[in-house]
Amino acid sequence: MKFIETTPDALGNSVNLFYEDLGRGKPVVFIHGWPLNHAMWEYQLSELPLHNFRCIAYDRRGFGKSDYPWENYDYDTLADDLKALLDHLHLTDVTLVGFSMGGGEIARYIGKYGIDKISKVVLISAVTPFMLKTNGNPEGVDKEVFDEMIESIEKDRPKFLENFGKQFYGVSLFNEAISDPMLAWNQALCLMSSHKATTECVLSFSQTDFRDDLLKITVPTLIIHGDADKIVPIEVSGNRTAKMISHAKYIVYEDAPHGLFITEKDKLNSDLIDFIEGINT
């Protein structure tokens, strides 16, 4: 298995991050969403390497096979972790692909470190520009929504994740968007995270303001969002992000839920390949 060691924090503590490195060609780094891990990209990691892309996906600290530290789940630290990966693998001319919470890592990384190593950006169902409703962000989501999420996780994390997974993929009595075995697989991935990381990251993705970071994204950018997303509503996120990154290509997936990397996997793979190769961009 492959691991990198992050830059030590102020107390001298570092974290080991697990990653996969598949294929050869132009590097594409995949950053997973909450509360999953890098394995959520299974259908992208099995297809894009066939198109001469080097695909790298890693587990965020506290998730998957990476270390489970007790603290430091803020976006500044998570952006530092992404930098550690790029530096360790000596990557340049990189396309960053971030899903949901992972979109925030991309925004904060570029806000802190710029675009020298980055050639393109893809934001999928991303939490940008700012999820929390405040006086300065009236378009956001009420704080009570995130408080209830944390309360439910604290009470019964497996039950919360089971219910959350159904909403994540748009499963209902009238819509079997994905199979029961796929839901079970999703649950298994989510349970590979630490309890502390699961709750701390809710605070991070809900309370972090990425608006200044987005203004620094000047490379070609693709934004993809489902208009039936109940986890990160398109009105709060995708629509606003597209306005802030005026040069971005914005694709709305009609009737798609949050977890479109599964439900719309073929369309997503095609759009990713076209964008990274520079077709119709």
pLDDT of residue 177: 81
> Where is average pLDDT lowest: 130-144, 166-180, 214-228?
166-180
pLDDT band of 281, cuts 50, 70, 90: low
Query: For 1-10, what is the mean pLDDT?
Result: 87
Three-state SS string over the chain comes to: CEEEECCCCCCCCCCEEEEEEECCCEEEEEECCCCCCHHHHHHHHCCHHHHCEEEEEECCCCCCCCCCCCCCCCHHHHHHHHHHHHHHCCCCCEEEEEECHHHHHHHHHHHHHCCCCEEEEEEECCCCCCCECECCECCCECHHHHHHHHHHHHHHHHHHHHHHHHHHCCCECCECCCCHHHHHHHHHHHCCCCHHHHHHHHHHHHHCCCHHHHCCCCCCEEEEEECCCCCCCCCCCHHHHHHHCCCCEEEEECCCCCCHHHHCHHHHHHHHHHHHHCCCC
Options 100, 193, 204, 237, the catalytic residue: 100
Q: Which domain holds residue 220?
A: 2-277
Q: Is 255 a catalytic residue?
A: no
Contact present, 60 and 81 (Cβ < 8 Å): yes
> Where is average pLDDT lowest: 68-77, 125-134, 169-178?
169-178
pLDDT of residue 32: 98
How confident is the prediction for the chain on average, in pLDDT? 96
Q: Is 67 a catalytic residue?
A: no
pTM for the whole structure: 0.97
pLDDT band of 134, cuts 50, 70, 90: very high
Total of domains in the chain: 1
- Token pair, residue 122, equals 């893809």
Contact present, 112 and 77 (Cβ < 8 Å): no
Query: For 136-158, what is the mean pLDDT?
Result: 97
Rounded to the nearest 10°, the torsion over CA 84, 98, 21, 42 is 150
As a whole number of angstroms, the distance between CA 144 and CA 260 comes to 26
pLDDT of residue 173: 54
Q: Is 229 a catalytic residue?
A: yes
Options 206, 229, 237, 271, the catalytic residue: 229
The domain that contains 49 carries what CATH number? 3.40.50.1820
